[in-house]
Every structure is written in C-alpha cells, then in structure tokens.
A and B are shown apart, each in its own frame.
Chain A
Amino acid sequence: DSGVTQTPKHLITATGQRVTLRCSPRSGDLSVYWYQQSLDQGLQFLIQYYNGEERAKGNILERFSAQQFPDLHSELNLSSLELGDSALYFCASSPGGGFSYEQYFGPGTRLTVT
C-alpha cells in the first residue's frame, strides 16, 4: 500500500459525458501527479500540482483539467469524453516538487467510455 488513494476504482460512462477522478496523496506529500496509461500510448504524464499550484504540464488535452485543493487532495476532470479516453488513470504523490523525488503511485482508476 503506497498510501495514495484514488476513487473510484472503476468508472463506466458514455461518450460526451464528464467525470471527476479523485486522488488523496500520502500524508505530508505536497506534489500530486496525474498519468494516463493506455495500451497504445503507454504511460503518459498529464499534469503536476505542487502545494496547490500547477507545476508542470504534459500531454493533457484541453478537455481535461485538474486542481489541487488546500487539503492537498486533487481532482482530475475529464469532459466531452471520447472512446479513446478509456484508460487507467493514476495519480502519484511525492514530498517535493521535482521529478527526481520518489513518486508513490495510487492503485488507479479504470475508466471505460462506451
């Protein structure tokens, strides 16, 4: 158990819909990272927040957005969902703001868009 929690574990929704994925980092960690893992694209970095502020941005689509709240939990919002958005979404947390810090990954949310 990494100490990172993600909800829900599974999510099935239809195209065009909007969903919110939630992540609670390990106690004391200030950074939250979001990743998407699909069979054809592998593991892709989406976005990082550090202590409430956006720190780094990866291959995140404009239909996707994220935020980190004062209690440091984070939410990833996916809108206008397409079939290709079906994937595993992981969040990870680390104590510091740089990628050289050890990242602890949550168990993931499996999103299926039908």
Chain B
Amino acid sequence: TQLLEQSPQFLSIQEGENLTVYCNSSSVFSSLQWYRQEPGEGPVLLVTVVTGGEVKKLKRLTFQFGDARKDSSLHITAAQPGDTGLYLCAGGTTSGTYKYIFGTGTRLKVLA
C-alpha cells in the first residue's frame, strides 16, 4: 500500500510559469523530505520539514508541511528548464512499525 500520493504525476510547463506539487497521506509523518532526481542519478535532498505548518524557502522553491503533518506541498516560482526532473517526497511514519516511504513521484518538464 502506497502511503504517500503525489500529484500531479506528470507536469509539462513553459519556462516562467509557476507550479505546485502535492504530497498527501492519511498517516502522520515525523518529518518529511523533498528530493529531486535526474535520469541516471540518485535523488538529491532539497529540504527537510519537521514541524506542522512549517514553511521553508529555497530560492524559487517554497515547501510547506501541513499542520497535521500528513501532507506537504512544493511550489516553484518562475520555473526554469534546469528545474526539470523527478520530484519525490519521502517521510518516516511511526504508525505501526517505523517505515520510511517515498512518494509516487512527480515528473516535471520545463520547456524553454
């Protein structure tokens, strides 16, 4: 059972547009990470959010952790071709046995 659902699954946008990627679950997470992965490479950590309601900014990327720590969003402002990649959320849940789970992924393509 996949506990972290990401939407949209695929996104193709023009350079300069804004976008939001969502990561949703019915489980509570002790912390949540966002990664970006490029083809043939391992994921690279972008941010970790720990506190419910937390907002973190990384240049043009804004990350938010839901108040109940069950969901998160990633907003990109003025997307650039270099933002192209697979975006993954991941987190650890303590409901039952501790598990670290990756989301289903959002594949973003930014066209020049």
Q: How many residues of B contact A (CB 8 A)?
A: 24
Task: Bin the interface of chain A by size.
Answer: 20 to 34
Tell me if B's interface is mostly helix, strand, loop or mixed: strand
Is A49's beta carbon under 8 Å from chain B?
no
Q: Quick check: B102 and A44 within 8 Å, CB to CB?
A: yes
A-B contacts counted at CB < 8 A amount to: 54
Q: Quick check: B88 and A43 within 8 Å, CB to CB?
A: yes
Q: Quick check: B102 and A100 within 8 Å, CB to CB?
A: no
Is A69's beta carbon under 8 Å from chain B?
no
Is A50's beta carbon under 8 Å from chain B?
no
- Interface hub of B43, B48, B92 (most chain A Cβ within 10 A): B43
- Interface hub of A4, A43, A106, A108 (most chain B Cβ within 10 A): A43
A contact residues around B92 at 8 Å (CB): 99-100
- Interface hub of B31, B42, B92, B100 (most chain A Cβ within 10 A): B42
Q: Quick check: A106 and B99 within 8 Å, CB to CB?
A: no
In the complex, the chain A residue whose C-beta lies closest to that of B88 is A43
Q: Quick check: A45 and B43 within 8 Å, CB to CB?
A: no
Q: Quick check: B42 and A92 within 8 Å, CB to CB?
A: yes
Q: Quick check: A107 and B100 within 8 Å, CB to CB?
A: no
Q: Quick check: B100 and A45 within 8 Å, CB to CB?
A: yes
In residues 13-38 of chain B, which contact A (Cβ within 8 Å)? 30-31, 33
